[in-house]
Structure 1
Amino acid sequence: ENLSQVELQGLKDDRRSVWPGGLAIMIAVFDELGIESMEVTDAALRVGVLYDLLGRSQHDDMRFVTVEQFMQRYAVDREQAKRVGIHAAEFLSQLPKPDSEDREDNIALLQWAANLHEIGLSIAHNGYHKHSAYIAGNADMPGFSKNDQARLAALLIGHAGKLGKLANNSSFRDWRMLFCLRLSQVLCRGRSDIQLPKVKVSEVDGSYIVSLSKDWVEEHPLTEFSLLKEAAEWERIGRPYKVILR
């Protein structure tokens, strides 16, 4: 008897030659790991996902490649993305690190959000942040888990405009990252390499505090207006936000 004569319900002809090898591997895995049972599921691992995870541990993270491809595809203003990302990461590094936080991974996610926050401009300027979030949440992004994409999309939808859209989202937890991203965008609103003052950020009893030079702010009235508007927006959703000029 050969493989062409094997009859198994549901086995397609083009799979006859490969299933014995798969069966042998599964038997070995069961024996080696002491597995006693296996159940069928509708879900499956995307091809290559294990290589993605292996790459992360070897400092060859596929997510960096994916973000770079998206930046090229959507003609991102790289200088602006770099500015926003650098300052956002700096602000997050100033905030206390909870024991449960993976700070390195969060900084990476924050910088990816900065790199991709304007991809929606390729569709329309009006409400571009909504387009950015939709793309990030629904596109095929190799290396990113569904949770990664959901967090990224939430940061993109929240980086501009009203915060109410996230205030009612009980699953959103990245408020501190969003605070850093929005503050960075406000300070980089001029889209040029101006010398920013030393900005200190902190979180005290649930209140975000931004401290910066009074002289610099007075020299940049539009930025001052944006900072006050930003503080009011956070206050609107019940999250105290103070701007201290020193």
Structure 2
Amino acid sequence: MTAANNAPAPELLAAIDLGSNSFHMVVARLVHGEIRTLEKMGEKVQLGAGLDAGNNLTEAAQQIALACLSRFAQRISGMPPEAVQVVGTNALRVARNAHRFLARAEQVLGFPVEIIAGREEARLIYLGVSHTLSDDTGRRLVVDIGGGSTEFIIGERFEAQELESLHMGCVSFRNRYFEDGKISRRQMDRAITHGAQELLNIRHRFRSLGWQSAVGSSGSIKAIASVLANLKLTNGSITLEAMRELRRRLVDMGQASRLGELGVRPDRQSIFPAGFAILMAAFESLGIEEMTYADGALREGLLYDIAGRIQHEDVRDRTIQALQERYHVDQQHAQAVEDTAMTIYEQVADQWQLRTAADEEVLRWACRLHEIGLTISHSQYHKHGAYLLRYSDLPGFSQQFQRDLATLVRGHRRKFSPAIFEGIDSEEDRRRLRYLCIITRLAVLLQHSRNHEAPPELSLSADTASLSIRFPEQWLDERPLTLADLENERDYLARQDFKLRINE
């Protein structure tokens, strides 16, 4: 167990959502398993609008974003790492230079920033919404219109059943259909048709499952509900009939700059028609008759995700278990490999500066999943397993964490080559993963016989480019195959300028 596991639960939690349109932060207190919000901050950063023609974030857009994060950083300064989650969504998923921005953002915040996949974003949104609604029975549809993507979820109580993230958002649609500030019938029709085309992929699946209530959870949907109420078209909900009337009025108005007459805030006027078009497409395509607004969203979902980890109800553990079952992993063998890896880890972690909860977690989970590729083929199964972990939808995991898991599985056997670490830009990440990979390789090797025996009483010492292992007397003499494996491993590591010493 790491120190983080044994520490008392943090008093305060914080979640930061780096959205394509806005950055949001919420700080809360965890009281008897319940989250009590203390403070919310939000700024219209429009990161998605800062993508150039090559999908690179411009320097100007990065500076605006970093200035916002510097203000957030003051509020969370001094909080323990396990109490803070910072995630990026669609704009950072598509930005080709995202890794450079992340390095700058982490320096400003003092906490890691993780990019999450669209379906993971959808899962967290549903978690946030479901905790802000009454605990009713029946399925609900949740829709969240972001700056660069829109999430659709069907779930019941706190469990999502269908998750989808579509590549359309109020900033991207504004840039494509309403950039000149005009709201013509032709522009509105084209935007709604585009939205309907995106929804074709999920329309049948979602309508077949069905729902008893529909909920919207984004700034765009909140603004639409507010306008409908101001116009006295509804009492605060959103209905299909009211949406059709608002569509007529928007076209008659003709200019986004006039939306203040409907009560739309100045900072939201340019994106309001785009958000409306996406929601109108959802109403018509999915057959939504009425929708209510809920205040919970991605950042609240992040808070409940943090709370779950603190209270040992980590969704990631369930994901790992599901993968083991789905790919018929020999769990007894995987546990033996994990136990051996932890025996090594405990002795070298300090010397290799691996003493974080994330380092231990990725090592444990890689050991549990190192053979998932066997379901596809025995030949090159480490590569098949790495591909599955890199590109599957894994609830609870960021894209960086999936990359780390895939790296350890890819590198747990055969050649120890630089190709294993391709695509990892940070020198610090390469160093850390290289050491974790060596531990995984040795653990797999020491359990090669698959007899699930407890790891031997090893004595290890390490420095930056070497590892010395002393085995109990006679242990290797009784296991000539293991000795041969270790000698082969010594050669593999030597080719990458790493020295493995055995009983020296």
Question: Quick check: TM above 0.5?
Answer: yes
159-168 or 183-192: bigger deviation: 159-168
**Any idea what the Cα deviations from partners look like across 1:176-228, whole Å, max 9, x if unmatched?**
21111111111100000345531122212421111113511111111101001
- Are residue 155 (structure 1) and residue 408 (structure 2) matched? yes
SS of 1:215 mapped into structure 2: coil
Identity %: 30
Residue of structure 2 equivalent to 1:226: 485
- Are residue 81 (structure 1) and residue 321 (structure 2) matched? no
State the AA in 2 paired with 1:121: L
Shift of 1:51: 3.8
CA contact (8 A) 1:97 1:103 kept: no
State the AA in 2 paired with 1:197: P
CA contact (8 A) 1:167 1:237 kept: no
CA contact (8 A) 1:88 1:180 kept: yes
- Are residue 119 (structure 1) and residue 372 (structure 2) matched? yes
Residue of structure 1 equivalent to 2:347: 94
- Are residue 62 (structure 1) and residue 315 (structure 2) matched? yes
CA contact (8 A) 1:91 1:201 kept: yes
**Any idea what the Cα deviations from partners look like across 1:61-102, whole Å, max 9, x if unmatched?**
111000000111111101110000011012111114279745
Q: Aligned equivalents of 1:101 and 1:52: distance in 2?
A: 24
Aligned ranges 1:5-154 → 2 under 5 Å: 5-7=245-247, 8=250, 9-10=273-274, 11=276, 12-13=279-280, 14=283, 18=291, 21=293, 51-97=304-350, 101-154=354-407
Residue of structure 2 equivalent to 1:208: 467
Where do 5+ consecutive residues of structure 1 fail to align? 27-43
Shift of 1:110: 0.9
Cα gap change, 1:157 to 1:216, in 2 (>3 Å):
same
CA contact (8 A) 1:117 1:156 kept: yes
Residue of structure 1 equivalent to 2:26: none
Cα gap change, 1:149 to 1:45, in 2 (>3 Å):
farther
Higher relative contact order (CA 8 A, sep 6+): 1
CA contact (8 A) 2:352 2:435 kept: no
Q: Aligned equivalents of 1:100 and 1:94: distance in 2?
A: 11
State the AA in 1 paired with 2:246: V
SS of 1:133 mapped into structure 2: helix
CA contact (8 A) 1:203 1:209 kept: yes
SS of 2:462 mapped into structure 1: strand
Q: Tell me how large the CA RMSD over aligned residues is.
A: 2.8
Cα gap change, 1:198 to 1:143, in 2 (>3 Å):
same
State the AA in 1 paired with 2:497: G
SS of 1:135 mapped into structure 2: helix
Cα gap change, 1:69 to 1:96, in 2 (>3 Å):
closer
Runs of 4+ in 1 over 2 A off after TM superposition: 5-10, 12-19, 44-54, 96-105, 165-173, 193-197
209-218 or 235-244: bigger deviation: 209-218
Shift of 1:45: 5.7
Cα gap change, 1:47 to 1:222, in 2 (>3 Å):
farther
CA contact (8 A) 1:92 1:176 kept: no
Q: Aligned equivalents of 1:47 and 1:118: distance in 2?
A: 35
TM-score with structure 1 setting the length: 0.80
